[in-house]
């Protein structure tokens, strides 16, 4: 081949759109792998520092759980703002006006009461270790439930940005994730245990409203009343423990949830953004998306009830539940690990996984730039996770249909050849 032919061939390749699509796909794959490696490395380093130093527990969410546990053990109101602020100031909490109050329902107090037995410096690494154990167990149990159980892509759960932020903040959402995974794991073999595990999910009930609507309907349709019994027993027992230490606990919690401070606080989620842009004083507005999401969820389940699979069908259900929740933080999105791992297992190319890693990188960049958890820049996250999941699922469906058509064509060709012979 002479020089002119080589030049012509090179020009033809450069004009070919397929060449550039392949280049872009390769670039996204490579970028995703690099980002995943960097996030995982940073995760390991930060976790090590957390366990060794405590990473200033006075300004992390763990201080609110420690204070609540301490208060309830002393038969005091764990939802009282003034007392909570005084205790937090005594251990070095820097905010001078706003207390860091635990907002979980009273039945979740049993989860944080053990923290009150220790000082804050000792309780912080223990809490971080418990969060890490919950995360590791969740991802370990999710592996066999995937469509590709031996695939190492399940470890992408560790690279999910909200997971890292949840550990850094000392948030409790990883326990809710563990409860969700335990339910998925035991729903067939040990329904009573699966129901008890839902107690961990109930620590953040507002994140599961469409999920809960389908769960109750599924229990009735499938007659899985042992799941309901397990959930009821665990909630009753934990509520009784809280009531035994503070008989007025439910009144105190109700007062907290109706306080003006919570009405004025901006949390970067779609429901609160809707309320603040329409009628800031009308709290009921932020429950409209959850109501619409629950109606969609019931219809979604009903049309699939004969072949319902909590792992596969539950993935979009949780994605919608988080997106329409009355309020949620970026850290709460660690609950989407099972759904996103289903999406990863369905991805038909590494470029699709790379796109997910790029979205994670955007979150990490916002945090490194000093954007707090209240930043409006986090409003895009839940719609993007849902859109990504729907995209890879549609692509996978197209690939599967193509494979079926190819097999049918091959079979028809073989039959026609046999008939000709």
Residue 98 placed within a domain = yes
What DSSP assignment string belongs to 301-320?
A: HHTTGGG--TTTTHHHHHHH
Residue 144 has a pLDDT of 75
231 inside domain: yes
Residue 4 maps to a domain: no
Whether 408 maps to a domain, the answer reads no
User: Across residues 307-325, what is the average pLDDT?
Assistant: 94
* Domain-embedded: residue 1: no
Q: 157 lies in a domain?
A: yes
> What is the residue-averaged pLDDT of the chain?
82
Contact 199, 231 (CB under 8 A): yes
Q: Indicate the pLDDT class of residue 128, thresholds 50, 70 and 90.
A: confident
The string of pLDDT tens digits covering residues 210-248 is: 999 999 999 999 999 999 999 999 999 999 999 999 999
Listed residue (186, 168, 179, 172) closest to 235, CA to CA: 179
pTM assigned to the model: 0.83
Structure tokens that stand for 369 in this block: 């730039």
Average pLDDT over residues 400-411: 45
**Domain assignment present for 419:** no
Token couple for 116: 């009150």
Containing structural domain, residue 220: 21-253+262-399
Query: What is the DSSP-derived secondary structure letter of residue 2?
Result: -
Q: Is a pLDDT exceeding 80 seen at residue 408? A: no
pLDDT tens-digit series, residues 163-175 = 888 888 888 999 9
Asked if the structure places residue 281 within a domain, the reply is yes
Contacts 24+ apart (CB under 8 A), 236-244: 238/107, 238/108, 238/109, 238/110, 238/199, 239/106, 239/107, 241/109, 241/110, 241/113, 242/72, 242/106, 242/107, 242/109, 242/110, 243/106
10 Å CB burial of residue 153 (0-12, 13-18, 19+) is middle
Among residues 343, 366, 338, the alpha carbon closest in space to that of 355 is found at 343
User: 200 with 178: CB under 8 angstroms?
Assistant: yes
Q: Which sign does the torsion angle of CA 223, 227, 231, 237 carry?
A: positive
Query: Does the pLDDT at position 393 exceed 80?
Result: yes
What total of structural domains would you count in the chain? 1
Return the higher-pLDDT residue of 261 and 69.
69
């Amino acid at each position: 081949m002479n020089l002119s032919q080589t030049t012509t061939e090179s020009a033809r390749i450069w004009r070919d759109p397929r060449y550039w699509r392949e280049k872009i796909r390769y670039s996204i794959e490579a970028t995703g792998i690099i980002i995943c490696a960097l996030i995982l490395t940073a995760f390991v380093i930060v976790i090590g520092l957390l366990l060794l130093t405590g990473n200033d527990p006075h300004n992390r969410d763990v201080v609110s759980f420690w204070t609540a546990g301490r208060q309830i053990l002393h038969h005091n109101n764990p939802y009282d703002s003034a007392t909570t602020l005084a205790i937090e100031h005594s251990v070095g909490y820097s905010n001078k006006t706003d207390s860091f109050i635990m907002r979980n329902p009273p039945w979740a107090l049993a989860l944080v009461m053990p923290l009150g037995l220790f000082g804050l410096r000792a309780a912080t690494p223990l809490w971080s270790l418990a969060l890490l154990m919950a995360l590791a167990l969740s991802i370990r149990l999710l592996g066999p439930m995937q469509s590709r159980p031996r695939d190492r892509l399940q470890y992408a759960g560790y690279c999910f940005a909200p997971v890292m932020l949840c550990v850094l903040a000392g948030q409790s959402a990883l326990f809710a994730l563990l409860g969700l995974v335990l339910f998925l794991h035991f729903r067939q073999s040990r329904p009573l245990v699966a129901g008890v595990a839902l107690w961990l999910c109930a620590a953040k009930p507002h994140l599961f409203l469409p999920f809960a609507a389908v769960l109750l309907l599924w229990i009735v349709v499938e007659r899985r009343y042992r799941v309901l019994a397990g959930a009821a027993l665990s909630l009753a027992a934990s509520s009784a423990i809280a009531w035994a230490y503070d008989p007025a606990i439910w009144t105190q919690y109700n007062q907290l949830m109706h306080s003006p401070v919570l009405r004025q606080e901006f949390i970067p989620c779609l429901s609160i953004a809707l309320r603040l842009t329409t009628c800031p004083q009308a709290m009921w507005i932020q429950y409209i998306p959850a109501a619409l999401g629950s109606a969609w969820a019931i219809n979604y389940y009903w049309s699939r009830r004969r072949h319902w699979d909590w792992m596969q069908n539950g993935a979009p259900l949780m994605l919608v539940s988080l997106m329409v929740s009355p309020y949620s933080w970026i850290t709460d999105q660690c609950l989407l690990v099972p759904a996103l791992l289903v999406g990863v297992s369905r991805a038909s190319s590494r470029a699709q996984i790379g796109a997910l890693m790029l979205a994670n990188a955007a979150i990490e960049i916002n945090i490194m730039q000093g954007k707090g958890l209240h930043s409006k820049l986090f409003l895009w996250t839940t719609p993007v996770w849902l859109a990504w999941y729907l995209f890879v699922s549609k692509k996978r469906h197209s690939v599967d249909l193509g494979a079926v058509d190819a097999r049918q064509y091959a079979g028809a060709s073989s039959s026609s050849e046999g008939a000709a012979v």
